[in-house]
Amino acid sequence: MAASAKVLTIDNLTQNGEWTIVLPRRQKQRRTNSIKTRTEEGQPWIPTDLETDPRKQSKLMQKMETSMRRIENSQFYASFLEQIQSSDMLDRFHKVLGSDLKMQMVIYGIGSIESYEPPRFQLSLAILMKRKFSWIGDIEVFDPVLSATESWVLEALGCTVLSVNEEGRRQALKPTLFFMPHCEAELYNNLLQANWRVDLLNRIVLFGNSFETYEQNIVYYRNSSIINSARHVIAVRKFSDEFRIKTISDDYFAAFLDSSWHFFGPDLESELPSINYDGDYLLDG
């Protein structure tokens, strides 16, 4: 999608939709978020409920403030900032920024921040990053499971809730940090497929599941369904740099298990393979 979708105006909501939701599993197992929808891509999205309750809004805001304090005061966050501010990482961020002063942040598949703690930790980390680094610009958020209350809290925290399900297909027409912890492989694949050009890939920083782990699992299990949903994910490994983060303690294990920073650096269009989704996909080795 070439440009940002129109923002959500809660006062104008008039109807409900049907969504496919992937709920968290065991506490220490990775939570995978889906933003699939039964409506066509680009159709207007509305929250899962139509009413907001001031008491629920206040309670959720308190939960978010608690989560942000816990993250900010944690050893995990200190280690996270140390990694970002290392010369190796900063060089890559600056390369993506180029002559731009700000890098917008797009959050896909955050999950229900009202129902589960891991999504609150993930959102807290994104907001704290924006407050810490002047080069991080506006934050846009989308997940079809968001309620009207959650949307209100997100807006109150300075985020913009998108009104259209982009299905991860936002083109990086300017430097963009895609914050996508624990999303499905298909969603990462959609993002890469929509940006399968040298100029676009070089404008992307991606925070999400480890692509190295995806590749290892695919090679080990030879699972055709995973292969079909992650062809661009595997192909991009040839010209990407991955930096895994440390979870430090069990407190943040569920929220950030197997998460990594990804930077993509193809130099020529000829480096980008043409990926066929109709035939067999051959793995190296």
Residue 276 resides in a domain: no
Residue 186 resides in a domain: yes
Instruction: Quote the percentage of the chain above a pLDDT of 90.
Output: 66
Residue 135 resides in a domain: yes
Does residue 185 have a pLDDT over 80?
yes
Q: Could you tell me the CATH number of the domain that includes residue 107?
A: 3.40.50
Domain that holds residue 205: 54-263
CB 71 within 8 A of CB 121: yes
Question: What would you report as the CA-atom Rg of the chain, rounded to the nearest whole angstrom?
Answer: 18
Count of domains for the chain = 1
Does residue 284 have a pLDDT over 60?
no
Residue 22 resides in a domain: no
Q: What is the pLDDT of residues 128-160, one digit of tens each?
A: 999 999 999 999 999 999 999 999 999 999 999
Does residue 18 have a pLDDT over 50?
no
Q: Identify the DSSP state of 272.
A: S
Does residue 3 have a pLDDT over 70?
no
Locate the DSSP E strands across the chain: 103-108, 136-142, 159-161, 176-180, 204-209, 240-244, 259-264
CB 227 within 8 A of CB 196: no
pLDDT band per the 50, 70, 90 thresholds, residue 246: confident
Does residue 1 have a pLDDT over 50?
no
Residue 176 buriedness (CB in 10 A; 0-12 / 13-18 / 19+):
buried
Higher-pLDDT residue of 89 and 219 is: 89
Residue 49 resides in a domain: no
Mean pLDDT for the stretch of residues 187-196: 97
Q: Which of 242, 257, 199 is nearest to 89 (CA)?
A: 242
CB 177 within 8 A of CB 126: no
- Measured CA to CA, the distance from residue 57 to residue 48 in angstroms comes to 15
Q: Which two tokens stand for residue 46?
A: 């509305």
Residue 225: per-residue pLDDT: 66
Residue 164: strand pairing partners: 44
Q: Identify the DSSP state of 129.
A: H
Amino acid identity, position 17: G
pLDDT band per the 50, 70, 90 thresholds, residue 278: low
CA 190 to chain centre: 12
Q: What is the pLDDT of residues 166-177, one digit of tens each?
A: 999 999 999 999
Residue 271 resides in a domain: no
SS3 track for 87-101: HHHHHHHHHHHCCCC
Average pLDDT over the chain, rounded to whole? 83
Residue 30: per-residue pLDDT: 41
Residue 281 resides in a domain: no
CB 171 within 8 A of CB 162: no
Cβ neighbour number for residue 37 with a 10 Å cutoff: 16
Q: Which of 46, 79, 32, 71 is nearest to 188 (CA)?
A: 32
pLDDT band per the 50, 70, 90 thresholds, residue 254: confident
Q: Which of 239, 241, 242, 219 is nearest to 230 (CA)?
A: 219
Does residue 91 have a pLDDT over 50?
yes
Residue 45 resides in a domain: no
pLDDT band per the 50, 70, 90 thresholds, residue 2: very low
Residue 221: per-residue pLDDT: 65
Residue 208: strand pairing partners: 180, 260
Alpha helices in 134-264 (DSSP H): 148-156, 185-194, 198-201, 211-221, 224-229, 231-235, 253-256
pLDDT band per the 50, 70, 90 thresholds, residue 280: very low
Residue partners of 127: CB distance under 8 A and separation at least 6:
68, 139, 157, 158, 159
Residue 105: strand pairing partners: 139, 177
Residue 104: per-residue pLDDT: 98
